[in-house]
Amino acid sequence: MVMKEYSVGIIFDHELKKVLLVLKNRPEHLKGTYNGPGGKFEDEDKDYFDCIVREVCEECALVTKKSDWKYCGVLNSSDRAVYFLTLVYSGFNEDAKKSTDEDIFWLDLNQLPNHLSNNMEWIIPWSFEIAKGAGDLKHFNAQIK
């Protein structure tokens, strides 16, 4: 069986008060939940950094560089690996534009919706600590629930 690989970005605004999330229409198991922008590795992607730069541009019209991103960790299962990366976006929140059929939102970190995608309730705070530079926080490596 071929392992499928995905990248998901957890993007915070420059004030570290909001997170950019996508209201998912697909895949079916994520439909109606909020997740970070991201998606499946494509042939041109050399690594998870290439994948997240491409996906964030495609889904949110934000142009980032590989060096902007910090690695947070990976969730694994028998057939897939989902890599999580974070960045603090230094531009304007209005730069983020819906560019697919999925809506995007800058959401207040203190008022996140109840219907987050699986594991996002702990991945967002973990990513926040890495984004703001908490040096003692280790990368996670966990099984997908």
Per-residue pLDDT tens over the stretch 6-24 = 999 999 999 999 999 999 9
Angle 109-30-75 from CA coordinates, rounded to 5°: 75
Q: Find all residues with CB under 8 Å of 109, minimum gap 6, and list them.
A: 12, 16, 17, 18, 19, 124, 128
Is the pTM here over 0.85, yes or no?
Answer: yes
Give 133 or 81, the one with higher predicted confidence. Answer: 81
- Domain with 41 in it: 4-143
Given pLDDT bands bounded at 50, 70 and 90, which one contains residue 108?
Answer: very high
Q: Which two tokens stand for residue 97?
A: 């534009």
pLDDT score at 137: 62
Residues 16, 86: contact at Cβ < 8 Å? Answer: no
Please state the domain count of the chain: 1
Q: Find all residues with CB under 8 Å of 116, minimum gap 6, and list them.
A: 21, 33, 34, 35, 124
CATH code of 126's domain = 3.90.79.10
